[in-house]
Chain A
Amino acid sequence: MFRAESIYKSYGKKQILTDVSLSVTKGTCLGLLGLNGSGKSTLLNILAGCIRADAGRCYFENGKGKIAFLPQENPLIEELTCMDNIRLWYRGKRKDIFHEKNKTLFTALGVDAFINERVKNLSGGMKKRLSLAITMMEEPDLLLLDEPLAALDLLCKNGILTFLKKWLTEGGSIILATHETAALDICTDIYSLHNGIVTPVFTGKQGTRPCREQEYMDILLQKQENSYVYPTDQNRF
């Protein structure tokens, strides 16, 4: 289990995160909802180790675990081919780059179809899938995703969600920050982040998510009761 406890972060006088605590276990996905500028990306950056928190700590309960972070922007070098990008981030030996695990990964995300293309010639969805493949090559225990479905078409969204769902069933853990309600399909826990404070919206089983626009707005603004549980199949927007 991964835990983050009492995280504080401020930029100058502006308090971004106040006493943020959360935890994820194997096979669970924690969704972070919040308005723009609410501190979701800052929190993910702190959890990934990109920026330092003013206070608080993050740790795996068993003492070891690997975190992989996929920022909102793709970490790709545009002028190079997908293969060159993969080679840069692959930590194993060059000859092992196409071992069984990676092959499966590339096939599952459909990266193998355009692996020799130059990144700048790819669509947004292809780039996102490539970025995810590169991130997943690290074989993480916890995956941090910042807006993984932003600006993607429905087909691409479904492809990525299917992949992530499968990975969760294999024992992975995810914390994802999103504005996409579709992404909440894979979440087992949903937290909202407002004015630097994280509030659990619900902890339940996968597939539970807010169903009406007003309810979603309520979550973002933390107007709802914390025990609020949303039905899954009604009036989806």
Chain B
Amino acid sequence: MFIRLIRTDFKRIRYLLLPLFLCTAVLGASFAALAAFTEKVIYQDSSPEPVRVGVVMSIDSEYGKLAYHFVTEMESYQNTCEFVTLESEEAGREMLQKEQLQAVIVVPDNILSDIIDGTNTPVTVLYREDGSLETYAANEVFVSTSSMLGTSQAAIYTALKLGRNLELSPDLQARVNTEVNTLFFNYVLTRTALFDKTEVHATGLYPVRDFYIAAGFLLLLSMLGILFLSLLKNNAAAYIKKLKLSGISAVQAGISQWLTITATLYGIYLLLYTVAVIVSSAVSTHFLSFHTMALPAGLPVCACIALITVLIGKIPVSQAAASMILLIVVFLLAYTGGCLVPEALLPAFLKPVCTYSPYYHMIQLLCNSMF
């Protein structure tokens, strides 16, 4: 009888397929649009602009080229600055006044040879008077880098001085000189990455768009639960009575409904995922790539949503009231689970309970498997 009941529940679902597909299409399109523009709709696009820095130096000389190359390739500078080569200090000052630059570095031609020789040659840095936060950050980078280069320079000079004090032969001193300079180029300058660039998202490990694509899947499947309420609610008392007389308890009937809804939701999930991957490969943004793990990951998610739906369907209220309750419960669980607003942005009192929401684990599972 239980198998016949499951088969019958599937037959009943058959009549829900059209509204299910229509709802999936409408909600899917809405959530996809929302996810695509989430960063601009929900979060302001506030990526900091790089600090425009003018560099005045002679890049004609071999050492000048090398110095310019090292400075511009330093990760610390790459992450914070945009370099513009200038012909003269005057041109730099003029651009500073016109607010086209935020800083100008005047590098002496002989900077590298001076470093190697142990000569303390200052590098001049000019700032705009109305120094902004970015200017301040750039200054910190310059100071830190100068400090590091100064220390390195002292170390090189010490090594060379040591060679002279030990009265090494000129050949040996020349060899030490070359070795130390090689070490300086290879190991010191490459380690001046004072500021590593790490992207930190409010949505945790995943970029905002990826996170909300997974959230869209989750919310869409949850909302489809409303359609399944007709399967749970449109049962005459006589039907339930007859099931009982046939040896089917309310729990068994619930299990049959849960299995049916889970299977249907999973079918929709697979379809939706396939369509999303195909659309993604067709457009330039490639918002979703195919991952095998995303296929099984949908099953526990669908099972959990189906369970919530069935449990709410068992509340002895009308179908309309159950729909409202389902919407409210889904909203609350999704909100507290950091599905609507990321966990990091939740109010402090909700953060401790975040992990207790099934939606927290479902969104993590989907994100882990989809991206």
B237 pairs with A79, CB closer than 8 A: no
The answer, yes or no, to whether B61 is at the interface (CB within 8 Å) is no
B236 pairs with A74, CB closer than 8 A: yes
Nearest neighbor of B237 in chain A, beta-carbon distance? A73
What DSSP secondary structure best describes chain B's contact surface?
helix
| Interface-lining segment among A84-92, A168-176, A177-185 | A84-92
The answer, yes or no, to whether B4 is at the interface (CB within 8 Å) is yes
CA A76 – CA B238 in complex, angstroms?
8
Closest 5 CB pairs of A and B: A75-B238, A73-B238, A71-B238, A75-B242, A75-B239
- Chain B, interface size: which category? 10 to 19
Q: A50-B244, A72-B238, A75-B241 are in contact. Are A88 and B8 (CB under 8 A)?
A: yes
B11 pairs with A80, CB closer than 8 A: yes
12 A-B pairs (CB sep. < 8 Å): A49-B245, A50-B244, A50-B245, A71-B238, A73-B236, A75-B238, A75-B242, A77-B12, A80-B11, A80-B15, A88-B4, A88-B8
A77 pairs with B239, CB closer than 8 A: yes
Interface residues of B (CB under 8 A from A): 1, 4-5, 7-8, 11-12, 15, 234-239, 241-242, 244-246
CB neighbours (8 Å) of A91 from chain B are 1
CB neighbours (8 Å) of A71 from chain B are 237-238, 241-242
The answer, yes or no, to whether A78 is at the interface (CB within 8 Å) is yes
CB neighbours (8 Å) of B245 from chain A are 48-50, 69
CA A89 – CA B12 in complex, angstroms?
15
Nearest neighbor of B239 in chain A, beta-carbon distance? A75
A84 pairs with B11, CB closer than 8 A: yes
Q: Closest CB-CB distance, B132 to chain A, in whole Å?
A: 67
Interface residues of A (CB under 8 A from B): 45, 48-50, 69, 71-80, 84, 87-89, 91
- Across chains A and B, the number of contacting residue pairs, with CB separation under 8 Å, is 49
B11 pairs with A89, CB closer than 8 A: no
CA A72 – CA B237 in complex, angstroms?
10
B234 pairs with A78, CB closer than 8 A: yes
CA A74 – CA B8 in complex, angstroms?
17
Partner of B242, one of A84, A87, A89: A89
A80 pairs with B241, CB closer than 8 A: no
CB neighbours (8 Å) of A89 from chain B are 242, 246
A50 pairs with B241, CB closer than 8 A: yes
B8 pairs with A76, CB closer than 8 A: no
CA A71 – CA B242 in complex, angstroms?
9
CB neighbours (8 Å) of B235 from chain A are 77
Nearest neighbor of A85 in chain B, beta-carbon distance? B8
CA A76 – CA B234 in complex, angstroms?
10
Partner of B15, one of A48, A72, A73, A79: A79
Q: Closest CB-CB distance, B244 to chain A, in whole Å?
A: 6
CB neighbours (8 Å) of A50 from chain B are 241, 244-245
Q: A87-B8, A88-B8 are in contact. Are A76 and B241 (CB under 8 A)?
A: no
A84 pairs with B241, CB closer than 8 A: no
Q: Closest CB-CB distance, A207 to chain B, in whole Å?
A: 30
CA A89 – CA B247 in complex, angstroms?
12
CA A2 – CA B11 in complex, angstroms?
38
Interface centre among A73, A80, A88 (most CB of B within 10 A): A88
A74 pairs with B238, CB closer than 8 A: yes
CA A88 – CA B236 in complex, angstroms?
15
Nearest neighbor of B1 in chain A, beta-carbon distance? A91
B236 pairs with A80, CB closer than 8 A: no
Q: A50-B244, A87-B4 are in contact. Are A76 and B236 (CB under 8 A)?
A: yes
Interface centre among B4, B15, B237, B239 (most CB of A within 10 A): B239
CA A72 – CA B234 in complex, angstroms?
17
